[in-house]
Amino acid sequence: MNTPVFRGEMNVALLEEEEDVNQLTEYFSYEHFYVIYCKFWELDTDHDLYIDQRDLARHNDQAISHKMIERIFSGTVTKDKRVQREGRMSYADFVWFLISEEDKKTAISIEYWFRCLDLDGDGILSMYELEYFYQEQCQKLETMAIEPLPFEDCLCQMLDLVKPTVPGKITLQDLKRCRLAHVFFDTFFNIEKYLEHEQKDPFSVVRDGEPESQDLSDWEKYAAEEYDILVAEETANEQYNDGYDSAVERGVSGELVPRTEKRHFFDIPNPHCSLDLEQYEYEDDFE
Ligand SMILES: [Ca+2]
Ligand SMILES: [Ca+2]
């Protein structure tokens, strides 16, 4: 994916976004935006700047359960009303999703996932609600030939981890206080991260929950790693394609007729005859 080519489009998309995203900009570096945008672009295969349930399910190799993806699209955690009505998610809502998914330790993401799990919205995560999500996790584990923990045992573990103020009733405050909300959430809807937590020894999980004031947040770590991967991919693409990448071709497929016509220029063996490519090269140089 030769993403710098799309930098122009990216800026337009961002400028058009709601205040929510603008409020976030002060917390984000350019690298963070670059990573979010690339992730969005990858999922938004028809590039209409919206993603649907199927698109979102592909995030991180289907790591998130279908029940949770459905729940996200139910409108419970999205600001854009079209998410529920038309089944499509905007870039702004994707930003919230990605940050919440990649860093489940912040107050905002704990609220995000709590609302998703709290099916009846009564402010308490009931056994029924947790079992509803856990069932799919069990099925997934079985297909991976891993024997899942029976729900009752899992529930005991989770109650032990969260230690709710009122026994048996997990509230938002309990999750915020316990410092292990990320382990709790991944248990119920992210199989990949659940298995990662399982592989760690219990003491390291406890240490994980300790305050890490000078360390990077989970989100910052994720963004830095992904940014390095994207830059490496891009560099590799540039070397192979001399500045022109197949993603560009994919990007202009379909209804964008004028740009499809321009594709003819790309087919000419010497790309330097095309004005468009000069622009690309300029942007690549800029990079
Ligand atoms: Ca789309
Ligand atoms: Ca509830």
CB of 55 within 8 A of CB of 43? yes
What's the pLDDT band for 253 if we cut at 50, 70, 90? very low
Domain boundaries of the chain, sorted by first residue: 1-102+217-243, 104-212
Report the separation in Å between the CA atom of 44 and the middle of ligand 1, taken as the mean of its atom positions: 4
Tens digit of each residue's pLDDT (9 = 90 or more) over 172-195:
999 999 999 999 999 999 999 999
Report the separation in Å between the CA atom of 151 and the middle of ligand 2, taken as the mean of its atom positions: 17
CB of 38 within 8 A of CB of 103? no
pLDDT for residue 221:
93
Q: Which residues contact 253 (CB under 8 A, 6 or more apart)?
A: 260
Report the separation in Å between the CA atom of 276 and the middle of ligand 2, taken as the mean of its atom positions: 55
What's the pLDDT band for 77 if we cut at 50, 70, 90? confident
Ligand nearest to the CA of 114: 2
CB of 250 within 8 A of CB of 239? no
Lowest-pLDDT range, 54-63, 132-141, 278-287?
A: 278-287
Ligand nearest to the CA of 88: 1
Residue 206 has pLDDT above 60, yes or no: no
Tens digit of each residue's pLDDT (9 = 90 or more) over 111-150:
999 999 999 999 999 999 999 999 999 999 999 999 999 9
Ligand nearest to the CA of 122: 2
CB of 6 within 8 A of CB of 41? yes
Q: Which residues contact 216 (CB under 8 A, 6 or more apart)?
A: 224
Average pLDDT over residues 102-118: 96
Q: What torsion, rounded to 10 degrees, do the Cα atoms 98, 100, 103, 104 define?
A: -150
Q: How far apart are CA 189 and CA 58, in angstroms?
A: 14
The domains spanning 1-102+217-243 and 104-212 adopt the same CATH topology: yes
CATH entry 1.10.238.10 includes domain 104-212: yes
pLDDT for residue 15:
46
CB of 181 within 8 A of CB of 209? no
Report the separation in Å between the CA atom of 83 and the middle of ligand 1, taken as the mean of its atom positions: 12
| Phi/psi of residue 243, nearest 5 degrees | 90, -15
Lowest-pLDDT range, 38-42, 139-143, 225-229, 252-256?
A: 252-256
Token readout for 189 is 């809807």
Ligand nearest to the CA of 50: 1
Residue range 1-102+217-243 forms a domain whose CATH class is mainly alpha
- The DSSP-derived string for the chain is --GGGGHHHHHHHHHTS-HHHHHHHTT--HHHHHHHHHHHHHH-TT-SSEEEHHHHHTTTTTTB-HHHHHHHTTTSS-S-THHHHHSEEEHHHHHHHHHHHH-TTSHHHHHHHHHHH-TT-SSSB-HHHHHHHHHHHHHHHHHTT-PPPPHHHHHHHHHHHH--SBTTBB-HHHHHHHS-HHHHHHHHHBHHHHHHHHHS-HHHHHHHTS--SSSPPHHHHHHHHHHHHHHHHHHHHHHHHTT--HHHHHHT-TT-HHHHHHHHHHHSS-GGG-HHHHHHHHHHHH-
Report the separation in Å between the CA atom of 210 and the middle of ligand 1, taken as the mean of its atom positions: 40
176 vs 279: which has the higher pLDDT: 176
pLDDT for residue 189:
98
Average pLDDT over residues 58-72: 95
38 vs 243: which has the higher pLDDT: 38
Report the separation in Å between the CA atom of 96 and the middle of ligand 1, taken as the mean of its atom positions: 17
User: Using only C-alpha atoms, what is the Rg of the chain?
Assistant: 22
Ligand nearest to the CA of 127: 2
CB of 43 within 8 A of CB of 56? yes
Report the separation in Å between the CA atom of 145 and the middle of ligand 1, taken as the mean of its atom positions: 34
Residue 7 has pLDDT above 80, yes or no: no
pLDDT for residue 238:
85
Q: How many CA atoms lie within 13 A of 73 on its CB side?
A: 19
What's the pLDDT band for 85 if we cut at 50, 70, 90? confident
Report the separation in Å between the CA atom of 63 and the middle of ligand 1, taken as the mean of its atom positions: 20
